[in-house]
Structure 1
Amino acid sequence: MLTLLSFLGFTALVAVISWLKTRHEDLSQITGYFLAGRSLGWIVIAGSLFLTNISAEQLTGLNANAFSNGANVMAWETVAALALIALAFVFLPRYLRSGIGTVPQFLEHRYGKRMRTVASFIFIYAIVIGFLPFVLYAGAITLGQLFDVESLLGIGQTATTWVMVIAIGVVGGVYAVFGGLKAVAVSDTINGIGLLFAGLLVPILGLHALGGDDFMVGWQVLTSQAPERLNAVGMTADANIPWYGMISGVLLINLFYWCTNQAIVQRALGARSLAESQKGVLAAGFLKLAGVLMLVLPGIIAWHLHQQGMLEIPTKPGSDVLNADVAYPLLVREILPTWLTGLFCAAVFGAILSSFNSGVNSLSTLISLDIYKQLLKPSATDRETVAVGRAFAAVTIVICIVIAPYIANADSLYTLMRTIMAVINVPIFTVILFGVMSKRAPALAGYVGLVFGMGFFYLTHFVLGDDLGFAQVHWLLLVGINFLLMIGVMSVVRYLKPLPEAVVLLSDAHGHQVDITPWRYARHASWILVGLFVLLYAALSPLGVTSPSGSLMSVLAVSVAALLLLYGLYRLITARGWRQPLAQKISR
């Protein structure tokens, strides 16, 4: 009962604060509803970005991977910090200067109206089929386990799933449909604080339990018994993420997610200025590095607790393989006190809502601005456009609630969802990046590249099983190969049919709605982020805590050497003698 009361209390607190913060907002206007009136500060942006990314599939899924594979899987978190640097310096200035509200609008500025329409339908299809139902289902399973709803309500597993799916869908829909982006962002920030507090307590209390009520003993167990599980560098043949996969696959996928994904970019577009947006984005990068403590470390602790017989992990039905998916919720139930479990559940509930209502808000934005106002009724008023977005969002929520519970039994739907996200992410990102790099590439280059990239990855990964005929490759390497081939194909089209004049991305026709002066300390913050990234990997390598011969001095020496090398490359590339000819060459 105490768990339920603390859960309801924190959830109600978030709702009340969000209402108080947004009750005077004009949500009848496009900018006010979809872009929070371009009024978001950096703290709200950072919190919203962080929580939009973290949901049940992150907390449960990534910790499950860490339980099975160790710290190597943290690349999905850490590399995100580098992608956010790219968003701050490469993409955000162009997005805000253009005054866009959606990523497909940027594609229209670069490639024309047809590309905007094509991209919009791709994003909509991916969100409705490949994202929202999965968020609902994963959230229902996670909260169902944490609350033990099946026993609490005395109902079966299927009924429990339906109850949790409906609850998440309805509450998330209220935030997204009636509150607009600002309500979503404010609730994200508050839930983010709760999630950080409770989430960081999990590894602390986990190490305390591992050491027999002694935190330092628990840390010694972690570093001395099976220390290879703390090795984050994928140098072994059986690494879940090989070292080259971080460059060829993880980095590209993160660049798509953080730089061109509508649900993510929309938070940064709602900033009151470029400086505020850059501060929020880079602050989110620091949160992503800290996220390793709550998204990876608990899974490793759960593995040690299981090895010592202190945490029972069941096997999968009909198999001798441990069910790693339940490791994290079981760890939380085991180590958190009852009242804190309710707070944690509320924070997780907020994270699930964040991912869900972020998808709904982005979907309604795409439908309203890129489909309705662009194709169906260009003369529509702001009030009409917002009303259409709200109506479509409500219908979409109902559809997703109906679909979500069947994911458990419909393998084909789950496979389709994974296929959609794997096939579209890098091709979309590559088309956008090439449009930024080459100002004389025609729209044909974008169409050819998009079709080639989606077709190549689907064929080689899902049909041929990563077998290229002459070699069997890791799927993350295949992502990089696809990227390079797309760049090559688009370059050929650009060479054969270049535009007669370089494209100049137009600024907002009504004048810049936000101040586009960059944050003066953005480069300093970025280099600190890069330094922490290098230091983290040096520490979790054979030179650091994963080897008896590792030492603090060797970790620092390698980190300093790596940073000097990176800074030297940065200065070389941005030197005046290189930059001008390169810019001229790309423009031509």
Structure 2
Amino acid sequence: MDGSTTASVVAFVLYLAVMLGMGLWFMRRNDDVGDFAIGGRRLGTFAATLSAKATDSSSWVFLGLPGAFYVSGMQNVWMIIGLTVGFYVSWRVVAGRLREDTEHGFDWRSGRRAESVTLPAYLANRFHSDAVRLVSAVVILVFYVVYLGSGLVATGVMFGQVFGVSSTTGILLGAAVVMLYSSLGGFLASSYTDVVQGVLMFVSLAVVSVVALVSLGGPAAVAQSIGDANPDLASPFVEVALVDGQWVSGSSVAVVAIVSALAWGLGYFGQPHILARFMGLRTAASTKGARRIGVFLSVTLLGFGGVIGMLAVAYFGPDLANPENGYAQLVTELLPSWLVGVFLAGILAAIMSTADSQLVVAATTLSEDFFRAFVKRDATDRTVVLISRATVVLVSVVAVAIALRGGTVLGLVSYAWAGFGAAFGPVILAALYSRRTSRVGALVGMLAGGLTVVLYPLVDPIGLYELVPGFAAGLLGVWVGNRLGPEPSRTVREQYDAVRSGAPAPAEAATA
């Protein structure tokens, strides 16, 4: 066992011990499903922002994003711009209202104030419909197993790089570790491990970028190397592709490609694991500072990911066997053996730390929005938490099956990201800002958005990212459903107004 492998083993074992310790610690604080699902709304501003950014970034920022820049250059900068703007706007227009609505809303059956701790529960209470809850829960489970699969694909790649095992073994080991501490600690464990992950991501990407830049002779030398490979790699306006070992320029980047890249930002409005961070905030007022921190994190983390991809072009030329392995290869080539193990094992841990957030949301959806909502309404919180822990195993098994089928990290992430953004984004915006939105509008919007993401790639004539037509179909579905279906009841509208004003609804006051 060489120094690199020894350091990898030591770093990973230490990380695992810390994660299990955090899981056991937070297990003691999971007294009810609200604690397990959204941490009892105890998440501070910095922790929420860093956790949200790390959760949506880790595996594909180290693998998929550098791979995209390595293959096609600066045309991918539009994706970074779209994601940064989307992250900021989601904190500005969604976070505060969703935090307040989910705490101070109403239980639609009793008419009394009751908090919602899952996204399907919030939508059901907002629109007075079990059908809305059921459809939203199904959407979450379908797209989450794909999303979680992308994280497990990443663990397979990194386990192979760190320990020299097969990708299949890496996927299975990664799933086992994540499954263990996610089932113990729930939301708080996943959130605070994501804080550690976020710091680790920032330091790792920055260090590797600086070391690679110095090793290559500085910015001028890097620019020369990229120019020798293909000068159009440095242009955000020219299409470039890696074909048969060389970068080939195409036409100008089409408007469709720019729109598709910018549209990634729309996905933030519908990602359940990010919306859960909004719901778990300690106060709604903290969103102002959070969005400023978020812009900085988005620009730096995503920017470093792109820089890594361009540095891989300069360092390896077209000889990198797997474009998504650029970061790991630079670490292996440039850092001392003992530090290689620490960096690679740390990033492996960070990748798995994102998967836990997805597991927690999927598990609470199964337990709270299927089991308690439709199987046993009088189930105790203790029972629901136990069911949540058990369903972590079920979701993990399905995600492993998807990961073993193969696919790129970025490809799997982009599909799940589009599915959530299109199915939930328009409906969440309508729920928060329109008192006239009805349960029919919400149902049609979710179905139209989600199904469009599934079906559009089968007929796509122009290469448009499916999130664009999916989000548009979701908005159109909400509008059509509102026009053709019955209007929201008087109680629904009164409860919406009461949440906005902070006053009791008439029905609530009458039963008080």
Q: TM-score, normalised by structure 1?
A: 0.71
- 1:446 paired to 2:457: no
Q: Deviations over 1:30-62 (max 9, x none)?
A: 222222222222222233222212333332221
Residue 391 (structure 1) shift = 0.9
**Could you tell me whether the CA contact under 8 Å between 1:78 and 1:292 is conserved in 2?**
no
- 1:494 paired to 2:509: no
**Could you tell me whether the CA contact under 8 Å between 1:78 and 1:288 is conserved in 2?**
no
Q: Distance in 1 between matches of 2:70 and 2:339?
A: 23
Q: Distance in 1 between matches of 2:55 and 2:193?
A: 11
Match of 2:371 in 1: 372
Which residue among 297, 321, 340 is the counterpart of 2:307?
Answer: 297
- Map residues 210-359 of structure 1 onto 2, 5 A cutoff: 210-211=216-217, 215-221=218-224, 226-233=230-237, 238=250, 242-243=254-255, 245-246=257-258, 248-256=259-267, 258-307=268-317, 312-314=319-321, 323-359=322-358
SS at match of 2:63: helix
In structure 2, relative to structure 1, the CA distance for the partners of 1:102 and 1:74 (3 Å cut) is: farther
Q: Distance in 2 between matches of 1:417 and 1:72?
A: 19
In structure 2, relative to structure 1, the CA distance for the partners of 1:419 and 1:287 (3 Å cut) is: closer
**Could you tell me whether the CA contact under 8 Å between 1:57 and 1:139 is conserved in 2?**
no
In structure 2, relative to structure 1, the CA distance for the partners of 1:269 and 1:222 (3 Å cut) is: farther
SS at match of 1:365: helix
Q: Distance in 1 between matches of 2:278 and 2:96?
A: 11
**Could you tell me whether the CA contact under 8 Å between 1:269 and 1:277 is conserved in 2?**
no
Residue 235 (structure 1) shift = 8.8
**Could you tell me whether the CA contact under 8 Å between 1:195 and 1:344 is conserved in 2?**
no
Residue 161 (structure 1) shift = 2.5
Which residue among 150, 156, 166 is the counterpart of 1:140?
Answer: 156
Match of 2:404 in 1: 406
Residue 279 (structure 1) shift = 3.1
Q: Which runs of 5+ in 1 are unaligned?
A: 151-159, 315-322, 468-472, 513-588
Match of 1:42 in 2: 45
Q: Distance in 2 between matches of 1:4 and 1:203?
A: 23
**Could you tell me whether the CA contact under 8 Å between 1:104 and 1:115 is conserved in 2?**
yes
Letter in 2 for 1:29: D
Residue 368 (structure 1) shift = 2.1
Match of 2:463 in 1: 474
Match of 1:529 in 2: none
- 1:505 paired to 2:496: yes
**Could you tell me whether the CA contact under 8 Å between 1:28 and 1:383 is conserved in 2?**
yes
The two structures, once aligned, show a CA RMSD in angstroms of 3.3
In structure 2, relative to structure 1, the CA distance for the partners of 1:40 and 1:109 (3 Å cut) is: same
Letter in 2 for 1:313: L
SS at match of 1:440: coil
In structure 2, relative to structure 1, the CA distance for the partners of 1:324 and 1:244 (3 Å cut) is: same
**Could you tell me whether the CA contact under 8 Å between 2:37 and 2:360 is conserved in 1?**
yes
Residue 452 (structure 1) shift = 3.4
Residue 400 (structure 1) shift = 3.4
Q: Which runs of 5+ in 2 are unaligned?
A: 104-115, 241-248, 504-512
Match of 1:6 in 2: 7
In structure 2, relative to structure 1, the CA distance for the partners of 1:419 and 1:282 (3 Å cut) is: same
**Could you tell me whether the CA contact under 8 Å between 2:30 and 2:186 is conserved in 1?**
yes
SS at match of 1:122: helix
Match of 2:132 in 1: 115
SS at match of 1:26: coil
Q: Distance in 2 between matches of 1:430 and 1:31?
A: 25
| Number of residues of Structure 1 aligned to a counterpart in Structure 2 | 471
- How much identity, in percent, do the aligned residues show? 19
In structure 2, relative to structure 1, the CA distance for the partners of 1:131 and 1:275 (3 Å cut) is: same
Match of 2:183 in 1: 177
Letter in 2 for 1:197: V
Letter in 2 for 1:494: N
- 1:124 paired to 2:124: no
Residue 241 (structure 1) shift = 6.6
Q: Distance in 2 between matches of 1:163 and 1:117?
A: 35
Q: Deviations over 1:471-511 (max 9, x none)?
A: xx3313x6434544543454344334444657343778xx9
Which residue among 22, 25, 31 is the counterpart of 1:23?
Answer: 25
Worse-matched range after superposition: 42-51 or 445-454: 445-454
Choose 1 or 2 for highest CA Rg.
1
Q: Distance in 2 between matches of 1:279 and 1:185?
A: 18
